[in-house]
Amino acid sequence: MKRFVRLFEALDGTTATKEKIALLRAYFEEAEPEDAAWAVWLLSGNKPKGSANRTRLAAWASEEAGIAGWLFDECRSAVGDFAETIALLLPKACGSETGFTLAENAAKIESLAVLDETGQREVVLSAWRGMDGAERLVFNKLVTGAFRVGVSRDLVVRGLSEALGVPRDEVVHRLMGDWRPTAEFFSSLTDGAPSPLDRPYPFCLAHPIAGDPAELGAIEGWQAEWKWDGIRAQVIRRNGTTAIWSRGEELVTDRYPEIEQASRLLPEGCVLDGELLPWGEGGPMPFNQLQRRIGRKTVGAKLLAEIPVVLMAYDLLESDGQDCRPLPLSERRDRLAAVVNEAGHPFLLSPTVAAGSWEELGALQRSALGRGAEGLMLKRLDSPYGVGRRRGAWWKWKLQPRSVDAVLMYALRGSGSRASLFTDYAFGVWKGHELVTIAKAYSGLTNAEIREVDAYIRANTLEKIGPARTVPPELVFEIGFEGIQKSTRHKSGYAVRFPRILRWRRDKRPEDADTLETVASLFEPLE
């Protein structure tokens, strides 16, 4: 635990990317495999399954420190951080548990999920009494679900890659999907043990195009497709079983039974990349129809009939058990067409959009809305299937580019009939490893979504700053706006006009949200 705490403090004390990578590499080289696995898991944004109610933690800490509850509240107001307040107030450790590892302390936290209040109190107090102040701080952040430090998943991958001597893209692949932090798992990262049969590939992502597409070169070198408004997913058919993974690395097989059943017609050792779309007799249905199915563990017959789903297939990542990603797009496309045409509905081949010039393609792009699409995707015909968001090969050319995916940072109560609910939200985009506020919005969610977000805010409040409640950077929303201008009043340097929530991006992880660079690329001086 002490080694991990030193890593936490060191990472928190520097903004230099190279230094952070070096710190991560050193930790992964020195730590025991199980501790290293937990470090990867936690630094990638995951949380231990167990937790303790903050009210209980405050009461236990007050009792241990011998102070009244009101004084704890005053101290918290002065310190500003719940976990740090407890770490500062607790009496000096007696050292009875000094030496427990990160993995052992994580196991204690996860045990809280099955214990009653008395059992939780015993575990937490025992841990506190055996830790110094720095260890308590990290432990408290873990036990409250508030642990975060200024490293992205990409930096963790780069540190791991250097420590293990494994190529970066391969590390990303081995970390995909649902895995638990064990010594065996960490060892598999090094020895290249076979991945589970349902393990997805890292998704290849596109950058928004900011300038004239003609700057990409001759149009003959590019493939254009419609950009559909659905949920990005991979359908994996291996060893007689099917797995459907969302882009957010969530296993959603049970939620799309029509896709799972039809996938039995796919050849063995096949992985398709595409978009899950609600699809009626006339073509694509609005995304808000698909939202009626998102988040449901089971889908009833009535909803299946009302909102059938197809997979609009974009790419073939695996064929006959062989990785196709290094092949050029043109060859992958030919193979994909053969697979999809053989399987049939609900697998559809994403149609290409033919044009003899960029001007002609631009006219077609402007007709996207009438086709139920958001715009166009531009993909270089000779490009391999990359890992993550790499510039140059894939671009998204949206019909209405003035929207960004942003992370919920804090919220305030509404007014009138919404006075009892947290409905006024502040959203941020990434500036390096920091979120900076880009917009405040309160319209666009359904009543059910508002209640769900309100419950999340109440359960996950990190700090109360006046009327505002800050929350962990976990929920992603697409924010639309009419215009954008530079502003010295906002930390991001920009202010948007008439922001509103377009949709809750449940399919995206926080690190998938847009960057300040993307916001800057959308800037145009207002008339």
CATH number at residue 116: 1.10.3260.10
Decide if pLDDT at 154 tops 70: yes
505 phi, psi to nearest 5 deg = -90, 75
**pLDDT classification of 415: cutoffs 50, 70, 90:** confident
In a domain, 134, yes or no: yes
What's the rounded Cα separation, in Å, for the pair 252 and 293?
A: 11
Query: How many Å from the N-terminal Cα to the C-terminal Cα in the chain?
Result: 57
Q: What share of the chain is helix, strand, coil (3-state, %, to 5)?
A: 40, 25, 35
Instruction: Tell me if residue 129 falls in helix, strand or coil.
Output: helix
Whether residue 222 sits in one domain with residue 128:
no
Instruction: Tell me if residue 243 falls in helix, strand or coil.
Output: strand
Whether residue 414 sits in one domain with residue 371:
no
In a domain, 68, yes or no: yes
In a domain, 187, yes or no: no
Decide if pLDDT at 525 tops 60: no
CB 287 within 8 A of CB 309: no
Strand 347-349 vs strand 322-323: parallel, antiparallel, or unpaired?
unpaired
Whether residue 359 sits in one domain with residue 327:
yes
What's the rounded Cα separation, in Å, for the pair 183 and 311?
A: 37
Whether residue 345 sits in one domain with residue 455:
no
In a domain, 194, yes or no: no
Mean pLDDT of 467-496: 86
- Percentage of the chain modeled with pLDDT above 70: 96
Decide if pLDDT at 527 tops 70: no
Whether residue 495 sits in one domain with residue 389:
no
Residue where a domain terminates, one of 120, 144, 168: 144
Mean pLDDT of 459-477: 91
Whether residue 253 sits in one domain with residue 367:
yes
Question: What's the pLDDT tens digit per position in 335-387?
Answer: 999 999 999 999 999 999 999 999 999 999 988 878 888 899 999 999 999 99
Q: Of 466 and 232, which is predicted with more confidence?
A: 232
Decide if pLDDT at 97 tops 60: no
**pLDDT classification of 195: cutoffs 50, 70, 90:** low
In a domain, 155, yes or no: no
Residue where a domain terminates, one of 398, 427, 459: 398
Mean pLDDT over all residues of the chain? 89
In a domain, 269, yes or no: yes
Does the predicted TM-score (pTM) go above 0.95? Answer: no
Domain count, the chain: 3
**pLDDT classification of 96: cutoffs 50, 70, 90:** very low
What's the rounded Cα separation, in Å, for the pair 341 and 348?
A: 8
> What is the domain extent for residue 214?
204-398
Q: Give the count of beta carbons closer than 10 Å to the beta carbon of residue 81.
A: 16
Is the sign of the CA dihedral 443, 448, 449, 454 positive or negative? positive
What's the rounded Cα separation, in Å, for the pair 514 and 477?
A: 10
**pLDDT classification of 98: cutoffs 50, 70, 90:** low
Helix (H) or strand (E) holding 237, with range, is: strand 231-238
In a domain, 172, yes or no: no
Decide if pLDDT at 166 tops 50: yes
Please, which residues bridge with residue 347 across strands? Answer: 311
Fill in the DSSP letter of residue 201: P
Strand ranges, E, within 401-457: 403-413, 422-431, 434-441
